[in-house]
Amino acid sequence: MIDYSALRVLLAVVQSGSFEKAAAVMNVTPSAVSQRIKQLEERVGAALVVRGSPCVATAKAEQLCRHMENVGMLEHDLLEGLPSLADKDDFRQRVTIRIATNADSLGTWFLEAMSEFSKSSSYLLNISVDDEDYTGDWLQQGKVVAAVSSSERPISGCR
């Protein structure tokens, strides 16, 4: 079984950039965060976090974080329709959606659209900027869940 509580800690470390900030977000001690990461690394059999300032995710950690972000979106959608399932004592981080766009879109219409989205949503946004010829690749590789792309053909698996 997947240890989702440990994966939530990993995601908090990666998103915040430090064990201390992750501990504050999760309402636990930095030592508890360190122990959870160490246990997860032992289970995976590889380093997941490059310790530094800021802490950086390894490729395996990025894969686990993407999974947690997807799970978070699914849980968010489920709990919107069935709020009685939510455990009032269970801490839930706000879900982050990764989106890729190009600089021209970012400079013209994209920020306004994302601002409107943010006003009506509890999601956080992680926006990456790249050339529009490559943002579709980010989507195909699973690095983002949405992208502004110059590709005329729809990307497989996307709506």
What is the per-residue pLDDT for 154? 77
What is the structure's pLDDT at 157? 67
Measured distance CA(156)–CA(159) in Å, rounded: 9
pLDDT in tens, 35-91: 999 999 999 999 999 998 999 999 999 999 989 988 988 988 898 888 888 876 565
**96-147 placed in CATH 1.10.760.10:** no
**pLDDT above 90 for 1:** no
pLDDT value, residue 145: 86
User: Do residues 129 and 101 make contact, with C-beta atoms less than 8 angstroms apart?
Assistant: yes
pLDDT the model gives residue 77: 85
pLDDT at 138: 87
pLDDT at 10 over 90: yes
Give me the residue spans of the domains in the chain: 4-66, 96-147
H-helix or E-strand containing 126?
strand 124-129
Across the chain, mean pLDDT equals 89
Q: Is residue 117 left, alpha or beta, with left meaning phi > 0 and alpha meaning psi from -120 to 50?
A: alpha
* Domain 4-66 = CATH 1.10.3720.10: no
For strand 56-57 and strand 49-50, is the pairing parallel, antiparallel, or unpaired? Answer: antiparallel
CA distances from 25 to 5, 92, 101, 109 (A): 13, 10, 28, 32
> In sequence order, which residues have a C-beta less than 8 Å from that of residue 80 and are 6 or more positions away?
none
